[in-house]
Structure 1
Amino acid sequence: MLLNLPFYRDEIFENITFAGYELAKIDFDNCHFIGCDLSNLHLTNTNFSECEFKNCDLSNAALTGTTVQECRFTNCKLLGLKFEACNPILLSFSFKDCQLNFSSFFGLKLKGTNFLNCTLEQADFTEADLSNSIFSDCNLKEVIFDHTILENADMETAYNLSLDPENNNIKKATFSTTNISGLLDKYEVIIK
């Protein structure tokens, strides 16, 4: 498929390896990407609005000025993405069964974002606003929470959690008795 138009609406892109394609400055509205490889691409100033990504690989893609509005990612590989490089206006997405290891969400307003059954090892949420977000069955091993707003966040089923409650806003956040020990890691206490 030759991508030579500046705008695509209601299109389905299936099992395409986009290496060699120039996707910068293209608008995708309500498009579906299924089994596509967009890894290592420059998506500079590309707009994705109400798009769905299933079984795709976007690892290490450059997101400078990229607009991601109301997009859904399911079973995708999103390693090392710098989401803070995206256009912050109307930035909204949800993730289900995704690998987001080493990705960065530094300083982003992500209120109400859903992370469902995701692996987020060593992801960075420094200074992000995750109020009312859900981390359901997520692996949070070595995730960085530093001056992060987690008010009303649901972290009840998250695991490998470690965060400093003195350095983050966790007012009315939900934790389980099995992951609450991650709030005490800095004190090096032993909980039996």
Structure 2
Amino acid sequence: MARVFSTENTDPFEGKDSFDGETFDGLTLERADLSDREFCNCVFRRSKLSESRWMRTRLEGCVFERCDLTQANTNMLSLRGVSFSSCKLMGIDWTNIAKFPDVSFEDCDMRYNVMDSLALRKTRFERCSITESVIAATDLAGAVFEECRFMGTRFEDCDLRNAQFPRSHDLFVDPAKNNVKGARVPLETVMLLAASFGMHVLGFTEKDSG
């Protein structure tokens, strides 16, 4: 039977580097060092893991629910079939995670994130706040951003071919700096792009009557 670790355990990770099918619920381990470990089919729930370190750790088939991973160190973290739901993921630099991550995000706070030179093709982001972030040289072809917010976020040199942004807000993508062929963006994005060139969209701006 899989074990459930909670705040009653001082440090459930001490002295062990491999975990399979276990649940970690309600942990309070800010700045914990979880480097060089392997988690397979594990669940992390309602745990405070801000500024924790996951260097060279492997996560496979894992689920994070309502966890706080603010400013976590993800250097060489391997993500295979991992999902984050209702998590705080603020201030994370994902740039140096292991190659070809398989991950999804739902209802997550991803403010102040950095994603540079990543392979996130067909990755799903649902109802996430991805504001004030930098996304550069990243393959997001076929990715889905549903009901996400992007205020202040910059896309630079990204592959956004056939990416979808249904019901997303505050999205600005410059076609001169990104590959956007086939991308499906909200009308609001078209208006923001037109405004950046000093144009007005007839029927949608105050000066549309000419």
Which interval holds the TM-score relative to the shorter structure?
over 0.9
* SS of corresponding position for 2:156: coil
Distance 2:120 2:174 in 1: 20
Distance 1:178 1:162 in 2: 9
What amino acid is aligned across from residue 86 of structure 2 in structure 1? N
Shift of 1:15: 0.5
Question: Any unmatched runs of 5+ in structure 2?
Answer: 1-8, 206-210
1:43-58 aligned at under 5 Å gives the runs 43-58=54-69
* SS of corresponding position for 2:129: coil
Shift of 1:20: 5.8
Shift of 1:186: 2.7
Cross-structure match for 1:41? 52
Cross-structure match for 1:98? 108
1:30 aligns with 2:38: no
**78, 85, 97: which one aligns with 2:96:** 85
1:69/1:138 CA distance change after superposition, 3 Å: same
Question: Any unmatched runs of 5+ in structure 1?
Answer: none
What amino acid is aligned across from residue 140 of structure 2 in structure 1? L
Shift of 1:17: 1.1
* SS of corresponding position for 1:84: coil
**8, 18, 22: which one aligns with 1:11:** 22
1:1-192 aligned at under 5 Å gives the runs 1=9, 2-3=12-13, 4-19=15-30, 21-88=32-99, 90-191=100-201, 192=205
* SS of corresponding position for 2:24: strand
Distance 1:170 1:187 in 2: 18
Cross-structure match for 2:208? none
Shift of 1:126: 0.7
Q: Deviations over 1:111-157 (max 9, x none)?
A: 00111000000121111110000111000111110111100000131
Q: How large is the RMSD of aligned CA atoms in angstroms? A: 1.3
* SS of corresponding position for 2:191: helix
Distance 2:49 2:150 in 1: 25
Distance 1:20 1:164 in 2: 38
* SS of corresponding position for 1:122: coil
Structure 1 range deviating more: 17-26 or 79-88: 17-26
Distance 1:44 1:146 in 2: 27
Tell me the TM-score normalized by structure 1. 0.94
Q: Deviations over 1:81-134 (max 9, x none)?
A: 11112111x312100000101111111010001110000001211111100001
Would the aligned equivalents of 1:121 and 1:140 in 2 still touch at CA under 8 Å?
yes
Distance 1:92 1:41 in 2: 21
Distance 2:116 2:77 in 1: 15
Distance 2:161 2:53 in 1: 34
Identity %: 25
Tell me the TM-score normalized by structure 2. 0.87
